[in-house]
Amino acid sequence: MKDTVSLTNKTVTGLEKALGQDFNRVELPERMAWVVYQLKLISDTEEYFPYGKWGTIQAIEDQLNDIADAEVVE
């Protein structure tokens, strides 16, 4: 079961610049859920979002959805 969010090196660098925080290539979903909310408030610049703002957000949200789906007990 996957329970972490994976980030590319470029995404890590962009997030660090955008938010002034340290990031790893692998992060906990709880942290990244909060980060997604913050990213929606930041300007869309290539420095912060080398793969595009909404593409970056969507890639993180997709991983969060997969993690949540795996944890839901029916």
Confidence label for 74 from pLDDT (cuts 50, 70 and 90): low
Q: What residues are paired with 6 via a beta bridge?
A: 26
Residue type at position 35:
V
Sole residue written with tokens 């955008």: 18
Confidence label for 73 from pLDDT (cuts 50, 70 and 90): confident
What residues make up the domain containing 36? 5-71
Question: 27 φ, ψ to 5°?
Answer: -130, 160
Model pLDDT for residues 3-16, shown as the tens digit of each residue: 999 999 999 999 99
Number of domains in the chain: 1
**What is the distance between the alpha carbons of residues 59 and 26, in angstroms, rounded to a whole number?**
14
Contact 26, 7 (CB under 8 A): yes
* pTM for this predicted structure: 0.91
Query: Cβ neighbours of residue 16 under 8 Å, at least 6 residues apart?
Result: 22, 23
**What is the percentage of the chain residues whose pLDDT exceeds 70?**
97
